[in-house]
Homo-oligomer: A and B are copies of this chain.
Amino acid sequence: MNDSNLRPGEVAVELPPRTDAAIYFIGVIHTPWKTRRDCPKRGSAEGPLCTITIDARWQQALAGIANHKRVQVLYWMHQARRDLVLQTPFERPTMGTFALRSPVRPNPIASSMVDLVGVAGNTLQVRGLDCLDGTPLIDLKPEHGADE
């Protein structure tokens, strides 16, 4: 495959002819970062306050979430390509996609554990995200163990 956007060592595959399941964007994440270059490599509990807004349709599903200090956020990394099996991160060796947490992966779903600072109506304030402003939200879950 001749792809001028590949770095040395990177390998792209042909994507499958069909997708297998579909997701709903259920809200949107607001952060201070407007470009991928601005985003921190990893979210931090000392990082800036970010806002998650849930679509009205799903607002009732927030009932009880305020009792949790830590929440897992799943979101869709909508700017990432999906066809790389080997990647060469900046100044690091080439590695398989499943050995990296890079946004570039067959299904660009990110998972971050954040500190829940507050909930009001359909809006959550959190710390610990590292994604672009405007990133689509796909799920919120209490931290593992919290309801078990």
Q: How many copies does the complex hold?
A: 2
Cβ-closest chain B residue relative to A66? B99
> Quick one: CB contact mask for A81-97 with B, threshold 8 Å, 1 for yes?
01011100000001111
Cβ-closest chain B residue relative to A99? B64
Whether B60 lies near A136 (C-beta < 8 A) is no
> Quick one: CB contact mask for A47-62 with B, threshold 8 Å, 1 for yes?
0000000100111111
A–B pairs, 29, beta carbons within 8 Å? A14-B57, A16-B57, A22-B22, A22-B23, A24-B107, A58-B106, A60-B85, A60-B86, A61-B84, A61-B85, A61-B105, A62-B96, A63-B86, A64-B95, A64-B99, A65-B96, A67-B99, A74-B107, A74-B111, A95-B147, A98-B139, A99-B142, A100-B141, A100-B147, A101-B141, A101-B148, A105-B141, A109-B138, A109-B139
